[in-house]
Amino acid sequence: MSPLELDRNESWLSREELDAARERLPILYVDAVPVRVDDRGVLTAVGLLLRASDGKINRELVSGRVLYHERVRDALVRHLEKDLGPMALPQIPASPQPFTVAEYFPTPGVTPFHDPRQHAVSLVFVVPVAGDCQPQQDALDLAWLTPQEAMDPGLLADMDNGHGVLLRQALGHLGHAV
């Protein structure tokens, strides 16, 4: 086995080791805004997950940790397929470029992004998906919203941890008035 053919076990750190690391250093994440585009590349819909956490149900973006020795591109594919299903067919370029970087802090109010578990730095991408998407794992539902529906102030306010801010930024990045 070559050094690049490592077993990428989801628990590359034990729960205790991960908790200890989260207390001492930033953890790298990726956030993805799944989108549908027409044949001209014009945004037609934004995909938002419905998840239950901490006794609340919220809309969220695709998000997850980058594992040790995992390329950012591979982490994006893994998390998109984990949340949207293996037939989502994400269209990720060979060398993906984030449209922004979000810094999550355990202390609310430092930035618009909050993660009570840790200080995390997330590379944020807009990712067109071409296939059939079905919510997977802990995602309860996947809704495809028009850009106008995605800008609803009530929806944006209900997105926890700053995901509403990232959605607004993504729509602005794609040329929509925010």
Say if pTM beats, i.e. exceeds, 0.75: yes
Tokens at 161, concatenated: 């941890």
pLDDT the model gives residue 2: 42
Q: Are 141 and 52 in contact (CB under 8 A)?
A: no
pLDDT the model gives residue 79: 96
Sign of CA dihedral 98, 155, 56, 82: negative
Q: Which residues of the chain have pLDDT under 50?
A: 1-6
Tokens at 172, concatenated: 């602005």
Q: Are 146 and 44 in contact (CB under 8 A)?
A: yes
pLDDT the model gives residue 146: 97
- Residues 52-63 have pLDDT tens digits of 877 888 899 999
pLDDT the model gives residue 52: 85
